[in-house]
Chains A and B, each alone.
Chain A
Amino acid sequence: MSDAVAHHPTSTGLDSRKLAFWTFIGSECLLFGSLISTYLVYKGRSVTGPTPAEILNIPLTSVSTFDLLMSSLAMVLALAAVARGDRLWARVWLATTAALGAIFLGFQAYEFTHFVQEGLKLQTNLFGSTFFTLTGFHGGHVLVGVLWLLTLLFRSFQGKLGPDKALLVELAGLYWHFVDVVWIVIFTVVYLIQ
Protein backbone atom coordinates (compact mmCIF):
# COMPACT_ATOMS: atom_id res chain seq x y z
CA MET A 1 0.00 0.00 0.00
CA SER A 2 1.72 3.10 1.10
CA ASP A 3 4.89 1.71 2.58
CA ALA A 4 6.74 3.69 -0.05
CA VAL A 5 8.82 0.82 -1.38
CA ALA A 6 11.53 2.54 -3.31
CA HIS A 7 11.81 2.53 -7.09
CA HIS A 8 15.56 2.12 -7.03
CA PRO A 9 17.32 0.67 -4.02
CA THR A 10 17.77 3.35 -1.37
CA SER A 11 19.88 3.40 1.78
CA THR A 12 16.87 3.36 4.05
CA GLY A 13 14.60 1.27 1.85
CA LEU A 14 12.18 4.18 1.93
CA ASP A 15 11.03 6.24 -1.04
CA SER A 16 12.99 9.48 -1.42
CA ARG A 17 9.87 11.44 -2.33
CA LYS A 18 8.12 10.45 0.87
CA LEU A 19 11.17 11.35 2.95
CA ALA A 20 11.41 14.67 1.12
CA PHE A 21 7.77 15.43 1.73
CA TRP A 22 7.97 14.75 5.45
CA THR A 23 11.01 17.04 5.53
CA PHE A 24 8.93 19.72 3.85
CA ILE A 25 6.20 19.18 6.44
CA GLY A 26 8.81 19.57 9.19
CA SER A 27 9.80 22.84 7.60
CA GLU A 28 6.16 23.94 7.51
CA CYS A 29 5.93 23.31 11.27
CA LEU A 30 8.35 26.18 11.70
CA LEU A 31 6.43 28.36 9.25
CA PHE A 32 3.09 27.95 10.94
CA GLY A 33 4.77 27.88 14.35
CA SER A 34 6.13 31.38 13.70
CA LEU A 35 2.77 32.65 12.46
CA ILE A 36 0.95 31.17 15.44
CA SER A 37 3.58 32.58 17.83
CA THR A 38 3.07 36.01 16.31
CA TYR A 39 -0.67 35.68 16.86
CA LEU A 40 -0.16 34.58 20.45
CA VAL A 41 2.32 37.29 21.50
CA TYR A 42 0.05 39.96 20.10
CA LYS A 43 -3.15 38.59 21.62
CA GLY A 44 -5.00 41.23 23.59
CA ARG A 45 -2.63 44.00 22.57
CA SER A 46 -4.80 45.68 19.99
CA VAL A 47 -5.24 49.33 20.74
CA THR A 48 -8.62 49.54 19.00
CA GLY A 49 -11.46 47.07 18.38
CA PRO A 50 -13.02 44.88 17.24
CA THR A 51 -11.79 42.18 19.58
CA PRO A 52 -11.97 38.41 19.08
CA ALA A 53 -14.81 38.06 21.57
CA GLU A 54 -16.91 40.55 19.66
CA ILE A 55 -16.47 39.05 16.25
CA LEU A 56 -15.50 35.37 16.22
CA ASN A 57 -18.33 33.00 15.48
CA ILE A 58 -17.68 29.79 17.37
CA PRO A 59 -20.68 27.76 16.18
CA LEU A 60 -19.93 28.52 12.54
CA THR A 61 -16.26 27.76 12.88
CA SER A 62 -17.03 24.54 14.74
CA VAL A 63 -18.93 23.42 11.66
CA SER A 64 -16.08 24.32 9.33
CA THR A 65 -13.64 22.55 11.66
CA PHE A 66 -15.79 19.45 11.56
CA ASP A 67 -15.90 19.77 7.77
CA LEU A 68 -12.12 19.76 7.56
CA LEU A 69 -11.84 16.78 9.89
CA MET A 70 -14.25 14.82 7.73
CA SER A 71 -12.24 15.78 4.67
CA SER A 72 -9.27 14.02 6.24
CA LEU A 73 -11.40 10.92 6.58
CA ALA A 74 -12.35 11.16 2.92
CA MET A 75 -8.67 11.54 2.07
CA VAL A 76 -7.57 8.34 3.78
CA LEU A 77 -10.43 6.48 2.16
CA ALA A 78 -9.35 7.88 -1.20
CA LEU A 79 -5.80 6.62 -0.66
CA ALA A 80 -7.04 3.20 0.34
CA ALA A 81 -9.19 3.07 -2.78
CA VAL A 82 -6.33 4.05 -5.07
CA ALA A 83 -4.06 1.51 -3.44
CA ARG A 84 -6.47 -1.33 -4.09
CA GLY A 85 -7.14 -0.19 -7.64
CA ASP A 86 -10.76 0.75 -7.01
CA ARG A 87 -11.20 3.42 -9.70
CA LEU A 88 -14.77 4.34 -8.83
CA TRP A 89 -14.29 4.89 -5.12
CA ALA A 90 -10.93 6.56 -5.65
CA ARG A 91 -12.72 9.18 -7.71
CA VAL A 92 -15.61 9.45 -5.27
CA TRP A 93 -13.38 9.99 -2.26
CA LEU A 94 -10.93 12.31 -4.03
CA ALA A 95 -13.85 14.42 -5.23
CA THR A 96 -15.37 14.36 -1.75
CA THR A 97 -12.12 15.51 -0.15
CA ALA A 98 -11.77 18.32 -2.65
CA ALA A 99 -15.41 19.30 -2.20
CA LEU A 100 -15.14 19.38 1.59
CA GLY A 101 -11.98 21.45 1.20
CA ALA A 102 -13.78 23.84 -1.09
CA ILE A 103 -16.62 24.09 1.42
CA PHE A 104 -14.09 24.97 4.11
CA LEU A 105 -12.75 27.69 1.86
CA GLY A 106 -16.32 28.87 1.38
CA PHE A 107 -16.73 29.19 5.13
CA GLN A 108 -13.47 31.13 5.29
CA ALA A 109 -14.53 33.44 2.48
CA TYR A 110 -17.84 34.08 4.23
CA GLU A 111 -16.11 34.70 7.54
CA PHE A 112 -13.56 37.08 6.01
CA THR A 113 -16.15 39.17 4.15
CA HIS A 114 -18.40 39.23 7.20
CA PHE A 115 -15.56 40.42 9.42
CA VAL A 116 -14.70 43.17 6.96
CA GLN A 117 -18.32 44.32 7.01
CA GLU A 118 -18.21 44.29 10.80
CA GLY A 119 -15.19 46.59 10.72
CA LEU A 120 -12.29 44.15 11.03
CA LYS A 121 -9.87 44.50 8.15
CA LEU A 122 -6.30 43.32 7.75
CA GLN A 123 -5.03 46.76 8.74
CA THR A 124 -7.60 47.62 11.38
CA ASN A 125 -5.66 46.49 14.42
CA LEU A 126 -3.20 43.83 15.61
CA PHE A 127 -5.97 41.27 15.85
CA GLY A 128 -6.94 41.89 12.26
CA SER A 129 -3.35 41.75 11.07
CA THR A 130 -2.45 38.57 12.91
CA PHE A 131 -5.79 36.84 12.38
CA PHE A 132 -6.07 37.39 8.65
CA THR A 133 -2.40 36.63 8.01
CA LEU A 134 -2.47 33.36 9.97
CA THR A 135 -5.80 32.08 8.67
CA GLY A 136 -5.06 33.49 5.22
CA PHE A 137 -1.83 31.50 4.97
CA HIS A 138 -3.70 28.44 6.14
CA GLY A 139 -6.47 29.03 3.62
CA GLY A 140 -3.89 29.47 0.88
CA HIS A 141 -2.50 26.08 1.79
CA VAL A 142 -6.00 24.57 1.62
CA LEU A 143 -6.48 26.10 -1.81
CA VAL A 144 -3.24 24.56 -3.07
CA GLY A 145 -4.41 21.27 -1.61
CA VAL A 146 -7.74 21.44 -3.39
CA LEU A 147 -5.99 22.12 -6.69
CA TRP A 148 -3.66 19.20 -6.05
CA LEU A 149 -6.62 16.91 -5.36
CA LEU A 150 -8.46 18.07 -8.46
CA THR A 151 -5.32 17.35 -10.48
CA LEU A 152 -5.21 13.82 -9.06
CA LEU A 153 -8.90 13.43 -9.82
CA PHE A 154 -8.25 14.51 -13.39
CA ARG A 155 -5.41 11.99 -13.69
CA SER A 156 -7.73 9.33 -12.35
CA PHE A 157 -10.24 10.08 -15.07
CA GLN A 158 -7.41 9.83 -17.56
CA GLY A 159 -6.83 6.34 -16.23
CA LYS A 160 -3.40 7.33 -14.96
CA LEU A 161 -3.93 6.87 -11.23
CA GLY A 162 -3.45 3.18 -10.69
CA PRO A 163 -2.09 1.47 -7.56
CA ASP A 164 1.43 2.10 -8.83
CA LYS A 165 0.73 5.81 -8.35
CA ALA A 166 -0.48 5.38 -4.79
CA LEU A 167 2.54 7.25 -3.44
CA LEU A 168 1.45 10.43 -5.22
CA VAL A 169 -1.92 10.20 -3.52
CA GLU A 170 -0.24 9.42 -0.22
CA LEU A 171 1.87 12.57 -0.48
CA ALA A 172 -1.22 14.63 -1.27
CA GLY A 173 -2.79 13.02 1.78
CA LEU A 174 0.14 13.92 4.02
CA TYR A 175 -0.17 17.51 2.86
CA TRP A 176 -3.91 17.52 3.39
CA HIS A 177 -3.77 16.03 6.87
CA PHE A 178 -1.01 18.43 7.87
CA VAL A 179 -3.14 21.38 6.78
CA ASP A 180 -5.97 19.87 8.83
CA VAL A 181 -3.72 19.48 11.85
CA VAL A 182 -2.60 23.11 11.61
CA TRP A 183 -6.28 24.09 11.64
CA ILE A 184 -6.79 22.03 14.78
CA VAL A 185 -4.19 24.20 16.46
CA ILE A 186 -5.58 27.44 15.01
CA PHE A 187 -9.15 26.58 16.04
CA THR A 188 -8.05 26.01 19.60
CA VAL A 189 -5.61 28.88 19.93
CA VAL A 190 -7.52 31.56 18.03
CA TYR A 191 -11.16 30.69 18.49
CA LEU A 192 -11.53 28.72 21.70
CA ILE A 193 -8.82 30.17 23.93
CA GLN A 194 -9.58 33.87 23.83
Chain B
Amino acid sequence: MNEHENAARGHATAGTYLVVAAILTVITVVEVGVYYVPSLKPVLAPTLIVLSASKFALVVMFYMHLRQDHRLFSAIFVVPLMIAVGVAIALLFLFGVLAVG
Protein backbone atom coordinates (compact mmCIF):
# COMPACT_ATOMS: atom_id res chain seq x y z
CA MET B 1 0.00 0.00 0.00
CA ASN B 2 1.62 3.29 -1.00
CA GLU B 3 1.42 6.68 0.58
CA HIS B 4 -1.44 7.87 -1.61
CA GLU B 5 -3.59 4.95 -0.61
CA ASN B 6 -2.58 5.53 2.98
CA ALA B 7 -3.72 9.12 2.87
CA ALA B 8 -6.91 8.22 1.04
CA ARG B 9 -7.81 5.73 3.76
CA GLY B 10 -7.21 8.37 6.39
CA HIS B 11 -4.04 6.68 7.54
CA ALA B 12 -1.13 8.74 8.66
CA THR B 13 1.66 9.31 6.19
CA ALA B 14 5.36 9.56 6.85
CA GLY B 15 4.87 13.29 6.77
CA THR B 16 2.41 13.18 9.62
CA TYR B 17 4.79 11.06 11.67
CA LEU B 18 7.61 13.54 11.16
CA VAL B 19 5.40 16.43 12.17
CA VAL B 20 4.35 14.58 15.31
CA ALA B 21 8.00 13.82 16.07
CA ALA B 22 8.84 17.49 15.68
CA ILE B 23 6.01 18.51 18.01
CA LEU B 24 7.10 15.93 20.57
CA THR B 25 10.63 17.33 20.44
CA VAL B 26 9.41 20.89 20.89
CA ILE B 27 7.23 19.96 23.84
CA THR B 28 10.14 18.12 25.46
CA VAL B 29 12.35 21.17 25.01
CA VAL B 30 9.64 23.36 26.56
CA GLU B 31 9.26 20.93 29.46
CA VAL B 32 12.95 21.02 30.25
CA GLY B 33 12.96 24.76 29.74
CA VAL B 34 10.08 25.29 32.13
CA TYR B 35 11.96 23.23 34.67
CA TYR B 36 14.83 25.69 34.63
CA VAL B 37 12.77 28.89 34.85
CA PRO B 38 12.58 29.83 38.56
CA SER B 39 9.60 32.16 38.24
CA LEU B 40 7.47 29.29 36.94
CA LYS B 41 8.11 27.17 40.06
CA PRO B 42 4.59 27.59 41.53
CA VAL B 43 2.90 26.33 38.37
CA LEU B 44 5.59 23.82 37.49
CA ALA B 45 3.62 20.70 38.33
CA PRO B 46 0.38 21.56 36.50
CA THR B 47 2.29 22.88 33.48
CA LEU B 48 4.42 19.78 33.20
CA ILE B 49 1.41 17.54 33.66
CA VAL B 50 -0.41 19.26 30.80
CA LEU B 51 2.66 19.13 28.56
CA SER B 52 3.44 15.49 29.21
CA ALA B 53 -0.23 14.56 28.84
CA SER B 54 -0.10 16.15 25.41
CA LYS B 55 2.91 14.06 24.45
CA PHE B 56 1.16 10.98 25.80
CA ALA B 57 -1.92 11.74 23.73
CA LEU B 58 0.07 12.43 20.56
CA VAL B 59 1.96 9.15 20.74
CA VAL B 60 -1.15 7.17 21.57
CA MET B 61 -3.37 8.78 18.94
CA PHE B 62 -0.91 8.97 16.07
CA TYR B 63 1.88 6.46 16.59
CA MET B 64 -0.33 3.86 18.19
CA HIS B 65 -3.01 4.75 15.70
CA LEU B 66 -5.93 5.00 18.08
CA ARG B 67 -7.22 8.04 16.23
CA GLN B 68 -7.84 6.07 13.06
CA ASP B 69 -8.58 2.69 14.52
CA HIS B 70 -11.85 1.15 15.58
CA ARG B 71 -13.29 2.70 18.77
CA LEU B 72 -13.13 -0.62 20.56
CA PHE B 73 -9.33 -0.33 20.79
CA SER B 74 -9.67 3.08 22.39
CA ALA B 75 -12.14 1.72 24.92
CA ILE B 76 -9.86 -1.21 25.77
CA PHE B 77 -7.03 1.22 26.48
CA VAL B 78 -8.84 4.17 28.02
CA VAL B 79 -10.92 2.33 30.63
CA PRO B 80 -7.94 0.68 32.39
CA LEU B 81 -6.03 3.93 32.01
CA MET B 82 -8.80 5.82 33.79
CA ILE B 83 -8.86 3.22 36.55
CA ALA B 84 -5.08 3.56 36.96
CA VAL B 85 -5.27 7.35 37.09
CA GLY B 86 -8.21 7.23 39.51
CA VAL B 87 -6.40 4.81 41.79
CA ALA B 88 -3.23 6.91 41.71
CA ILE B 89 -5.12 10.08 42.62
CA ALA B 90 -7.02 8.28 45.41
CA LEU B 91 -3.75 6.97 46.84
CA LEU B 92 -2.25 10.45 46.72
CA PHE B 93 -5.14 11.69 48.84
CA LEU B 94 -5.05 8.73 51.19
CA PHE B 95 -1.34 9.18 51.84
CA GLY B 96 -1.62 12.89 52.33
CA VAL B 97 0.39 13.89 49.26
CA LEU B 98 -2.65 15.75 48.00
CA ALA B 99 -5.16 17.35 50.27
CA VAL B 100 -8.57 18.92 49.87
CA GLY B 101 -8.48 22.71 50.28
> How far does the alpha carbon of A23 sit from the alpha carbon of B85 in the complex, in Å?
17
Q: Which residues of A contact B67 (CB under 8 A)?
A: none
Whether the pair B59, A30 counts as a contact (CB closer than 8 A) is: no
Interface positions, chain B 52-100, Cβ under 8 Å from A, are 52, 55-56, 59-60, 63-65, 69-70, 72-73, 76-77, 79-81, 83-85, 87-88, 91-92, 95, 97
Min C-beta distance of B51 to chain A, whole Å: 8
Nearest-Cβ distance from residue B11 to partner chain A, whole angstroms: 6
Choice from A13, A30, A33, A76 contacting B63 with Cβ under 8 Å: A76
With both beta carbons as reference points, the residue of chain B lying nearest to A59 in the complex is identified as B32
* Pairwise interchain contact B44-A30, C-beta atoms closer than 8 A: no
Tell me, in angstroms, the Cα distance from A30 to B91 when the chains sit together.
Answer: 13
Neighbouring A residues of B21 by C-beta, 8 Å: 69-70, 72-73
Min distance, Cβ A80 to any Cβ of chain B, angstroms? 6
Size class of the B contact interface (CB-based, 8 Å): 35 or more
A69's contact among B6, B28, B80, by CB below 8 Å, is which? Answer: B28
Surface stretch bound by B, among A104-112, A143-151, A152-160, A184-192 = A184-192
Q: How far is the CA of A19 from the CA of B80 in the complex (A)?
A: 14
CB neighbors of B among A159-194 (8 A): 163, 173-174, 177-178, 180-181, 184-185, 187-188, 192-193
A-side contacts of B14, CB under 8 Å: 77, 80
A contact residues vs B (CB 8 Å cutoff) = 1-3, 12-14, 18-19, 22-23, 25-27, 29-30, 32-34, 36-37, 40-41, 43, 58-59, 62, 65-66, 69-70, 72-73, 75-77, 80, 83-84, 163, 173-174, 177-178, 180-181, 184-185, 187-188, 192-193
Q: A14-B70, A84-B1 are in contact. List 14 more A-B contacts (CB 8 A).
A: A1-B9, A27-B80, A29-B84, A34-B84, A43-B97, A69-B55, A73-B20, A76-B17, A76-B63, A177-B64, A184-B59, A188-B51, A192-B44, A193-B49
Residues of chain B having any CB pair with chain A under 8 Å: 1-2, 6, 9, 11-12, 14, 17-18, 20-21, 24-25, 28, 31-32, 35, 44-45, 48-49, 51-52, 55-56, 59-60, 63-65, 69-70, 72-73, 76-77, 79-81, 83-85, 87-88, 91-92, 95, 97
